Amino acid sequence: MDTFVQLGYLVSAALFILGLKRLSRPRTAVQGNMLGSTGMLVAVIVTLIGTEAAGIGIIIAGVILGGTIGVLLATRVAMTGMPQLVALFNGFGGIASLLVGAATLYPDLAEGVELEATDLATGALTIGIGAITFTGSLVAFAKLQELLTGDITQPAALRAANIGLVAMSAALGVLLVVMSGSIWMWLLALAALAAGITLVLPIGGADMPVVIALLNSFSGVAASTTGFVLGNSLLIIAGALVGASGLVLTLIMCRAMNRSLGNVLFGAIDAVAAGADGDRIYDGKVTSASADDVAMMLDTAAKVAIIPGYGMAVAQAQHAVRDLTRALEGQGKEVVFAIHPVAGRMPGHMNVLLAEAEIPYEQLKEMEHINPSFGQVDVAIVIGANDVVNPDARDDPDSPIAGMPILDADRARTVVVIKRSLSPGFAGVPNPLFALDNTMMLFGDGKAAVEEIITALADL
């Protein structure tokens, strides 16, 4: 029987590996996700067969309950809500690990059974990391869902508290290993839950995708340490795979923003505090335009580059943008999309939205490929993007976002910026692009503004 379970786990681990491998290539990603879910199915079935189904009632109840909620959440959410949903799921995985760890250790601790130090240590890790993952993910969810808004007034205090709580969790973990009493386990859980909150609370919303990837890595590690406690090879392997891949993803994202992980976790608020005096930059230099002005400008253009940003997602303007593209192409113009790797609030955010609007993949150009050719672009239309086209990042070494690679929209012959106001993007810094001579601002909601341009084009 045990051999059968182990064999099933091996098959499942292989499916996870193949799944991850395929998920990381565009052509095979769908298949990769299928392989991963097949692996999970194999694992669950094998486990059900292999364990004495003493708690089968609980299991069935839990699976039905969780499965229903999972399906509802996954099918109902809008594409713009993806980031927070992933955060939420991730939190659930974290607390599940915490609960499994506690449920495994608790009976023995309560009855005073002597436990191996390694079991206690990995149990403590499971509980600590699971707890941080849980509350950290919930805070990330709340921030992205805009349940938690407004500035955090005391970031420094929160960070100090966070360091204290992490240290306390570590101390409680050591106590749990040494003294082996269930009280330490519960205290550890509480301290780590609080640590998760204080870790994520001071981090700016723009950095949430990085935080989610990091917490994803944590939830993998928590699953893996659960495997140590239970002596379960599949938990160890699958958890470690996710732990490693989450960390790699985190670092890839940091690199795309030209920042270190430490800076993301502990430096974001300072950056926001630093840039506030937009007035001086904008004063008297901003040219406001109407949709008709923009349409006339477009009429004479041969090459148009569209730069979407977070605002396009908020306005749900992707379908309007597609219609604009078709209209321009109908007039024989060349239209390309310039996609910044961290445009939006989630890596690949723009790709998902534009794909939803059926814009062909070939039309989307990555930053490195489009940047050298902005000189040949007649009109660059910036829709709800801000930080990713901020020339200060490139030119001003003192800017809080200095060094972040940007799209060189300012080098296009004319720039049209569509947004509702002059208010800053998520990094909170003013954008000199808006004050350039060759820039015209079209103020308004992204979707409405694009639709107006389409009408104006048709009326020319």
Partner 1 sequence: MTFLIALTLFVLAVFLGVELITKVPPTLHTPLMSGSNAISGITLIGAIATAGTDYSWLTNILVLGAVALATINVVGGFLVTHRMLGMFNRKR
Ligand X SMILES: NC(=O)c1ccc[n+]([C@@H]2O[C@H](COP(=O)([O-])OP(=O)(O)OC[C@H]3O[C@@H](n4cnc5c(N)ncnc54)[C@H](OP(=O)(O)O)[C@@H]3O)[C@@H](O)[C@H]2O)c1
Q: Within 209-228, which residues bind partner 1 (CB under 8 A)? A: 209, 212-213, 216, 219-220, 222-224, 226-228
Active-site annotation holder among 387, 392, 408, 410: 387
Minimum distance, C-beta of residue 166 to ligand X, in the bound complex (Å): 23
Q: 19 touches which of ligand X, partner 1, none (CB within 5 to 8 A by kind)?
A: partner 1
| C-alpha span between 193 and 197 (Å, rounded) | 7
Shortest CB 340 distance to ligand X, Å: 7
Q: How far apart are CA 228 and CA 100, in angstroms?
A: 12
Residues engaged in binding ligand X (CB under 6 A): 206-207, 209-210, 257, 309-311, 314-315, 342-347, 349, 384-388, 418-421, 423, 425-427, 445-446
- Within 246-285, which residues bind partner 1 (CB under 8 A)? 246-249, 252-253, 256
> With CB cut-offs between 5 and 8 Å by kind, which of ligand X, partner 1, none does residue 176 bind?
none
Task: Please state, in angstroms and rounded to a whole number, the distance separating the CA atoms of residues 143 and 139.
Answer: 6
Q: State which residue, 219 or 390, has the beta carbon closest to partner 1.
A: 219
Mark the segment that binds partner 1 (CB under 8 A) among 327-335, 345-353, 382-390, 435-443. 345-353
List the 334-339 sheet strands across, edge first: 364-366, 334-339, 303-308, 379-383, 414-419, 439-443
146-154, 207-215, 270-278, 391-399 -> range binding partner 1 (CB under 8 A): 207-215
**Taking Cα atoms as reference points, which of 364, 383, 363 lies closest to residue 321?**
383
Catalogue the E-assigned strands of 63-158: none
Biggest CA-to-CA distance, the chain: 84
Distances (CA, A) of 33 to 6, 38, 40: 23, 9, 11
Smaller CB separation from partner 1, 74 or 302: 74
Least separation in angstroms between residue 207's CB and ligand X is: 5
DSSP-derived 3-state class of residue 337:
strand
Q: Segment near partner 1 (CB under 8 A), from 40-48, 159-167, 380-388, 407-415?
A: 40-48
For residue 392, give Cα distances in angstroms to 124, 268, 400, 415. Answer: 46, 17, 9, 16
Closer Cβ to partner 1, 209 or 428, answer by number: 209
366 binds partner 1 (CB under 8 A): yes
CB nearer to ligand X: pick between 14 and 251:
251
What is the distance between the alpha carbons of residues 148 and 326, in angstroms, rounded to a whole number? 39
Q: DSSP assignment, residue 141?
A: H
**Which residue of 114, 283, 358, 459 would you call a contact of partner 1, by CB under 8 A?**
358
Tell me which of partner 1, ligand X, none is bound by residue 237, counting a contact when its beta carbon lies within the kind-specific cut-off of 5 to 8 angstroms: partner 1
Q: Is 112 in the site for partner 1 (CB under 8 A)?
A: no
Q: Given the complex with ligand X, which of 163 and 365 has the nearer CB atom?
A: 365
Residue 189 CB, shortest distance to ligand X, in Å, is: 30
Task: For the CB of residue 458, give the shortest distance to partner 1 in the complex, in Å.
Answer: 27
- Residue 210 interaction partner, one of partner 1, ligand X, none, beta carbon < 5-8 Å per kind: ligand X
Question: 93 touches which of partner 1, ligand X, none (CB within 5 to 8 A by kind)?
Answer: partner 1
Is 283 catalytic? The answer is no
For position 168 contacting partner 1 by CB under 8 A, the verdict is no
Q: Which is nearer to partner 1, 68 or 423 (CB)?
A: 68
Give me the residues paired with residue 108 across strands: none
CA distance 349 to 82: 9
Placement of tokens 């990330």 in the chain: 140
Q: For residues 79 and 178, which CB has a smaller minimum distance to partner 1 in the complex?
A: 79
> Which residue number is nearest to ligand X in terms of Cβ?
425
Q: Which amino acid is at 152?
A: I
Helix or strand (DSSP H, E) at 134: helix 117-144
Which tokens go with 453?
Answer: 């341009």
Asked if residue 3 binds partner 1 (CB under 8 A), the reply is yes
Question: Which among 42-50, 330-338, 380-388, 450-458 is the span making contact with partner 1, rule CB under 8 A?
Answer: 42-50
Number of Cβ within 10 Å of residue 411's Cβ equals: 17
Alpha carbon distance 440, 436 (integer Å): 8
Dihedral (CA of 365, 370, 376, 378) sign: positive
**C-beta of 76 vs 280, nearer to partner 1:** 76
Number of H helices, E strands in the chain: 18, 6
Measured between alpha carbons, how far is 335 from 304 in angstroms, rounded to an integer?
A: 5
Q: Which residues are catalytic?
A: 387
